[in-house]
Amino acid sequence: MIKLFLNLRIELEASEIIDLAYRIKSGDRKAIAQAITLMESIKADDRVIAEALLEQLGTANESSIRIGISGTPGVGKSTFIEALGQLILKEGNQLAILAVDPTSSIRGGSILADKTRMTSLSRDENVFIRPSPSGNNLGGVNRSTRESIAIVEAAGFNVTLVETVGVGQSETEVFEMTDIFIVLLNPGGGDELQGIKRGITELSDIIVVNKSDGDLESLSRNTVLDYKNALKLMKPRIKDWLVPVIACSALEKKGLEKCWESIQNLRELLLTSRQLESNRNKQKEKWLIKETRQGLLDALDEDEDIQNKLKTMQEKISVENRSVKSEAKNIIANFLSKLRKNK
């Protein structure tokens, strides 16, 4: 009877997954949101269903374009996306926005306010906006952002914008899951500019100096020149592509056409040179390594025996003056031994 019940449940789940995949491909907003929630879940059962759903959805849409957008806090990423998004829609595109909000390391909560900041786009039927918490991920994106991209592309959205939590040493993961990486900067210079210049020029495909209006317009021009001069000293990351530095005002809608034109020009270059396909394949290879590592960490966290050993050792480590490295090695060896026995 139990076996019959389990078989029935598996068949039921399989039919539900097929139905959910069909609804996603039909552009059902509720189904898209439901699927992304599944991807974000940390429950083991949900993760199994999520993996089956991804297989059902099939391969990625090769005609799509994935754009990562990062920038210093207060640079106006959401305002820029709202303005650029309207331009993208005018050309008949379907736009998905995956906005990652920072999660508090103390309380674990996030603001998730991007829909309220993108009032015009949030009302458009050709736009899907999904704010998600960054969780404990340090790469500026949510752990499930890659899966979310696959879902919105399967639903027919041919342009995906991934807005990250900010820019810094760890804000590079979005670069490894998008086709084009845009960095937004405030007009300025001095120590702040020097501090982030190298990382920006190494990763950026397009640099946008936002808020180039009013009293900041002159300062913005100087910032653009500063970055253009810095780029001359760098070896181009993409063959035949000189990173453009664009002065822009999302508020006054100035410079946006040049931004969108640069995105389209770079995508065309990547397509004709077959670099787009090559880059995406390399991204999949890195994704495999990250998922394997994360899977091992999840298994470690879910192993009750190992967690009890860790807790006991944490209580003893200071009192008994034991070597942290040695005890960590012992716990890892114990865990690996259990994995081999369970093969």
5 CB neighbour count, 10 Å cutoff: 9
Query: Taking the CA of residue 139 as centre, how many other CA atoms within 13 Å lie in the half-sphere pointing to its CB?
Result: 16
Say if residue 100 is in the same domain as residue 49.
no
Phi-psi domain of 80 (left: phi exceeds 0; alpha: psi -120 through 50; beta: other): alpha
Per-residue pLDDT reduced to its tens digit, 91-134: 999 999 998 765 433 344 444 445 556 888 989 999 999 987 65
Choosing from 13, 35, 57, the residue where a domain stops is 57
Say if residue 102 is in the same domain as residue 149.
yes
pLDDT of residue 84: 96
Say if residue 152 is in the same domain as residue 88.
yes
Q: What is the CATH number of the domain that holds 48?
A: 1.20.5
Say if residue 139 is in the same domain as residue 163.
yes
Mean pLDDT by 10 residues, the chain (343 residues): 40 78 93 92 83 84 87 86 95 92 44 62 92 58 82 95 69 84 82 57 88 90 88 85 94 94 96 92 89 84 86 80 83 82 71
Say if residue 35 is in the same domain as residue 7.
yes
Structure tokens at 302: 């879910």
Q: What is the total count of domains within the chain? A: 3
Beta-bridge partner residues of 170:
none
Angle between helices 2-25 and 44-57 (to 10 degrees): 50
Q: What is the pTM of this model?
A: 0.84
In a domain, 166, yes or no: yes
| Beta strands in 210-266, from DSSP E residues, in sequence order | 245-247
Per-residue pLDDT reduced to its tens digit, 244-268: 999 999 999 999 999 999 999 999 9
Q: What is the CATH number of the domain that holds 225?
A: 3.40.50.300
- Comparing C-alpha atoms, which of 241, 151, 259, 145 is closest to residue 201? 241
Structural domain boundaries enclosing 329: 284-341
pLDDT of residue 328: 85
Say if residue 163 is in the same domain as residue 299.
no
Choosing from 10, 32, 57, the residue where a domain stops is 57
